[in-house]
Amino acid sequence: MSINVGDLKSLWELFLAGGPLMWPITVMSFLVVAFGIERLVALRRSRFVPAALAMKLRLIADGSPFDPRQVAAWCDADRSVLATVVRAMLGRLGRPLPEVEHAVETTSNREASRLYANIRPISLAVTITPLLGLLGTVQGMIIAFYTTANLQAGANRAAELASGIYLALITTFAGLCVAIPAAIIAHYLEGRILAGFRRVDDVVAGLIPAIESFEGRGRSGGNGRPADPSAGGGTV
């Protein structure tokens, strides 16, 4: 399917006929594309749970020795959500388990808020662009009815009114063309964030028993004695 110059000219004329509100709708469409691409790149799988770090932490959850300093070094070399959450856990070593869990929850919420930040402009476009389109249509309808009411006697009022309504509906169409894809994109990106944090929670949940065991509070196999600080059990 080819588009000739005449078609492009007709589309441009149709755009101009939509009135000044077509410009903010166009700006919102560019914002949706820009932030959509940026979030698709930023929310890649490795941003949440990098494979190498997750494998090391799962080995600890499966019974490998837990060395806080080594785990901290792994996390310091990584900028993922998982590394940030695990660093918060390590910062609460030696404290009661509820404090460790609270640190995990607080850090996860902070990271989630940061990741959601650039989805908000897309969600704004979902709300704003149909309203801009509706505003343009209402404005166009007012002009169409005013023009029709003031036509000279004998003029074709029906044709004039139909032409005015036709032009007035352009902005509503344009607004919906932006808002519908924006809603799909926002929903998809939010789903990626939720899925990413579920993977983070799975790894962290497996690590908590290892921390409990390291501190002498294991659910099973623990001897109930505090960890020996000389064995590397101090707070990181």
pLDDT in tens, 183-230: 999 999 999 999 999 999 999 988 888 888 877 644 444 443 344 433
User: In angstroms, how far apart are the furthest CA atoms of the chain?
Assistant: 102
Is 14 part of a structural domain of the chain?
no
Residues 6+ apart with CB under 8 A from 84: 75, 107, 111
**Res 222: pLDDT:** 42
Is 86 part of a structural domain of the chain?
yes
Residues 6+ apart with CB under 8 A from 115: 42, 43, 81, 193
Is 9 part of a structural domain of the chain?
no
* Average pLDDT, integer, range 68-92: 90
Is 128 part of a structural domain of the chain?
yes
Is 60 part of a structural domain of the chain?
yes
Is 164 part of a structural domain of the chain?
yes
**Res 224: pLDDT:** 39
This prediction's pTM: 0.77
> Which span out of 11-25, 68-82, 175-189 was modeled with the highest average pLDDT?
175-189
**pLDDT > 90 fraction of the chain, expressed in percent and rounded:** 41
Taking a C-beta distance cutoff of 8 angstroms, is the pair 167, 139 a contact? no
Is 222 part of a structural domain of the chain?
no
The total domain count for the chain is: 1
Q: Domain range holding 78?
A: 20-217
Q: Is the confidence at residue 22, as pLDDT, over 60?
A: yes
DSSP 172-219: HHHHHHHHHHHHHHHHHHHHHHHHHHHHHHHHHHHHHHHHHHHTT--S
Is 55 part of a structural domain of the chain?
yes
